[in-house]
Amino acid sequence: MNIQYTFDSYQEEASKTAIYKNKLIYPVLGLTGEAGEVANKVKKILRDKDGKLDIDDKDSICKELGDVLWYLAACATDLGLDMNDIAVKNLEKLNSRAERNTISGDGDNR
């Protein structure tokens, strides 16, 4: 399958598969659960394989990251936000931090 999506087109397509009723609550919980699954897979690779990923590991993590992406899109849709705008604003924030040499450190408003 070689379908190409933008953030916006992905968000639109993903919303067609949303069947939940609890707006925002359901996808936020799903997002944290799926992110935890990604972390758990990486944890087991560190434990069992000394951190060495093989093609199956990458494929498995890719699938979990896809689930993270779906829930992120659902959160954005429920909030009336555009995923492309989210991506642009995030890169603007990071570029600003890089220019000001504040990438490291903590705090949202650095």
The 3-class secondary structure across the chain, one letter per residue, is: CCCCCCHHHHHHHHHCCCCCCCCCHHHHHHHHHHHHHHHHHHHHHHHHHCCCCCHHHHHHHHHHHHHHHHHHHHHHHHHCCCHHHHHHHHHHHHHHHHHCCCCCCCCCCC
Tell me the pLDDT tens digit for each residue of 74-85: 999 999 999 999
pLDDT band with cut points at 50, 70 and 90 for residue 25: very high
Q: Please give the model's pTM, rounded to 2 decimal places.
A: 0.90
Q: What domains lie within the chain, and their CATH numbers?
A: 9-99 (1.10.287.1080)
How high is the pLDDT of residue 108? Answer: 78
CB atoms within 10 A of CB 53: 14
